Homo-oligomer: A and B are copies of this chain.
């Protein structure tokens, strides 16, 4: 992937102060509790409806599937996102709507709440049935709405967290069911959008960033604990690609023997390739010399203009090495994102697939595919996990995971921010994970 012909779009970043301004919107008046409660109720109801819409085409049998320990059955997600509200809001008010056993079955990993049913065996829970789980959902919603006007500010904050938590599980509903259905040789279709991909390869530009100190993270508006505190860091000069790597480019890497040349791979990545006989991104299938890929619209030819997707950190890193570039750090990515709005290709229950580069939404810094960074998922300077069970939300995963940024076509609209940190182990592929290249520039 040569960059000789690329028009140099030199970029002079604003001062740190401006960063903060764009990030913090200091001038907005804080809403009153009533305003906040009202806005939250609407968000709550919209989010709950999206879960329903997202799963309506899945049969009870589909929703039972667990294809690996890291994935969960659809119906478990539906129950767990309900358990969260029930446990943190209703239970302390002695108003739980859970049936016996639910507190155990639908706790994910909160040791301070109690023991948890084995994660790897969630797929064995045929009971409670999907119908019973919907009863649980409706009961929770009804009870919570009844209580809404009496909720304290602290409770409202927990509900806000619960909404964002449910959005995260909406993304997992999509990625988990895609993984489960991919094993079915009938290649089930959940959606049916027209295949508009062309072989056109969109130009790649570089945005250049000067070195200096900036502000990162977030201390304002809703954000997860792992985004805090807002803090300074020094970032060296770099440039960032104007769009993610696309399949056409990735196919060149493959054709050049990328998967068989240890020079491009991290040592652990090379072992991973060998042991797992990796030859292509997840879901790619070679039929008579042509690459196809399983999508939630069935088996389709790999589209040249779509961003490469369902690749591990190892593959992202090997591709970058082959291309003579590197992955961005999460600070570099965040710096670039601070100057963008958060528009992009997000979750649409009728598509569930990245846009091709012809679509103007495809190449934005947000949406379409998550972008692996070269940053390990670590606490920010001064990070302190919240007290109580909610403190188990993020901090305890801060080892052996790598940061992805930007959101994907499975991320619910409105869920993302410049400071948003997603994280997965480096061999992970079932998320909509792609790569945007970076480079040093003198």
Contact = CB atoms under 8 A, between A and B. Distances in A.
A374 B375 CA distance: 13
Nearest to A100: B186
Given A64-B64, A184-B124, A397 B266 contact: yes
A121 interface: yes
A267 B183 contact: no
Contacts of A150: none
> Interface size class for chain A?
35 or more
Nearest to A124: B183
Contacts of A101: 185-186
A233 B234 CA distance: 5
Nearest to A236: B381
Given A67-B124, A234-B234, A236-B231, A396 B267 contact: yes
Given A60-B60, A64-B65, A126-B62, A265 B396 contact: yes
A269 interface: yes
14 contacts: A59-B60, A60-B61, A62-B127, A64-B126, A127-B184, A232-B234, A233-B233, A236-B381, A268-B399, A268-B400, A314-B399, A376-B378, A381-B440, A399-B402
Given A104-B185, A121-B183, A61 B266 contact: no
Contacts of A266: 396-399
Contact of A374 (B123, B213, B268, B378): B378
Interface string A184-204: 111010000000000000000
Contacts of A317: 399
A117 interface: yes
A127 to B, nearest CB: 5
CB-based closest 10 A-B pairs:
A376-B376, A61-B126, A236-B381, A111-B262, A62-B126, A267-B396, A234-B234, A124-B183, A61-B64, A64-B64
A369 interface: no
A410 to B, nearest CB: 20
Interface in A96-128: 100-101, 104-105, 109, 111-112, 117, 121, 123-128
Given A60-B60, A266-B397, A376-B378, A125 B213 contact: no
A313 interface: yes
B183 A236 contact: no
Nearest to A102: B186
Contacts of A231: 236
A163 interface: no
A400 B426 contact: yes
Interface in A40-81: 59-65, 67
Given A64-B61, A232-B234, A126 B184 contact: yes
Given A123-B123, A233-B234, A400-B400, 11 more contacts: A59-B129, A61-B61, A101-B186, A111-B262, A111-B270, A124-B184, A126-B181, A232-B234, A234-B234, A266-B397, A317-B399
A412 interface: no
A378 B373 CA distance: 12
Contacts of A396: 265-267, 270
A261 to B, nearest CB: 9
A397 B124 contact: no
A263 interface: yes
